[in-house]
């Protein structure tokens, strides 16, 4: 039985990913910072709940101890993420972005990934087939955002894509450091969720497809890559 932890899994893409992996036979821990919402989601899914706020060392360390006591971990999905939105669902642009907004975004999207990965590395290293899936974004691609012929070029925000580009670098470096693990970044697609004010163009079911696929990658599968549902993406 494969045991999987998904951060930020009480709603949206994380919740749907949990549903699909449970259907595939995984034992899934729903990580959530809100205990009531997390427990409710876990009950609906037939999953296990663990209190986990990726910005808080105490809850992350406690979650690691809980999952270790229950038998360990095979798959970590770093899904929790935020995007700052302002009036009219606007994003801070290069002209308006403040250091505090950037810091707040990185605290969850980047430092959160490091914090959780660090805490669960000992458990993953004991697994026969350890896997880490980092949820990135198509907006992390320097190639696409610098190409005036690509739709992503016109996204005006700074903090969110910068944080996800950093996640891609974490993926590359962790994959090199731990060659026995399969560690990859995935782009779920522009999905209708609370993160973007429900302006996305695809469903959570569609978004979860690539995450579920990479969560089940074989020990001889790709590592240190950046993928969407159609295959590798340019950095």
Express each pLDDT in 118-168 by its tens digit. Answer: 999 999 999 999 999 999 999 999 999 999 999 999 999 999 999 999 999
Q: Which of 178, 180, 202 is nearest to 189 (CA)?
A: 202
Mean pLDDT of 4-24: 97
Radius of gyration for the chain, computed over Cα atoms and rounded to the nearest angstrom: 17
Question: What pLDDT was estimated at residue 218?
Answer: 97
**Residues taking part in catalysis:** 160, 164
| pLDDT bracket for residue 87 (50, 70, 90) | confident
Q: What is the secondary structure of the chain as a DSSP string?
A: --EEEEET-SSHHHHHHHHHHHHTT-EEEEEESSHHHHHHHHHHHT-EEEE--TT-HHHHHHHHHHHHHTT--SEEEE--------GGG---BTTT--HHHHHHHHHHHTHHHHHHHHHHHHHHHTSSS-EEEEE--GGG-HHHHT-TTSGGGG--BSHHHHHHHHHHHHHHHHHHH-TTSEEEEE---SB-SGGGTT--SB-HHHHHHHHHHHHT--TTS--S-EEETTEE---
Q: Check: CB of residue 81 under 8 Å from CB of residue 195.
A: yes
Q: Check: CB of residue 24 under 8 Å from CB of residue 216.
A: yes
Mean pLDDT of 63-69: 98
Dihedrals phi, psi of 182, to nearest 5 degrees:
-105, 110
Inform me whether the pLDDT recorded for 194 exceeds 80: no
């Amino acid at each position: 039985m494969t045991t999987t932890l998904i951060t930020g899994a009480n709603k949206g893409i994380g919740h749907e990913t949990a549903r699909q992996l449970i259907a595939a036979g995984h034992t899934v821990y729903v990580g959530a910072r809100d205990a009531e919402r997390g427990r409710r989601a876990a009950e609906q899914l037939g999953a296990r709940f663990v209190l986990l706020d990726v910005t808080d060392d105490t809850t992350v360390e406690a979650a690691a101890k809980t999952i270790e006591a229950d038998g360990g971990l095979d798959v970590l999905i770093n899904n929790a993420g935020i995007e700052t939105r302002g009036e009219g669902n606007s994003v801070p642009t290069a002209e308006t972005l403040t250091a505090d907004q950037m810091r707040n975004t990185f605290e969850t999207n980047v430092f959160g990934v490091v914090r959780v990965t660090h805490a669960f590395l000992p458990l993953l290293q004991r697994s026969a087939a350890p896997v880490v899936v980092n949820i990135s974004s198509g907006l992390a691609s320097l190639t696409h955002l610098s190409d005036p012929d690509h739709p992503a070029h016109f996204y005006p925000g700074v903090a969110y894509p910068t944080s996800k580009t950093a996640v891609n670098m974490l993926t590359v470096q962790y994959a090199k450091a731990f060659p026995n693990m399969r560690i990859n970044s995935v782009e779920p697609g522009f999905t209708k969720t609370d993160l973007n004010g429900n302006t996305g163009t695809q469903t959570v079911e569609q978004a979860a497809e690539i995450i579920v696929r990479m969560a089940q990658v074989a020990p001889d599968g790709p590592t240190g890559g950046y993928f969407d549902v159609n295959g590798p993406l340019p950095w």
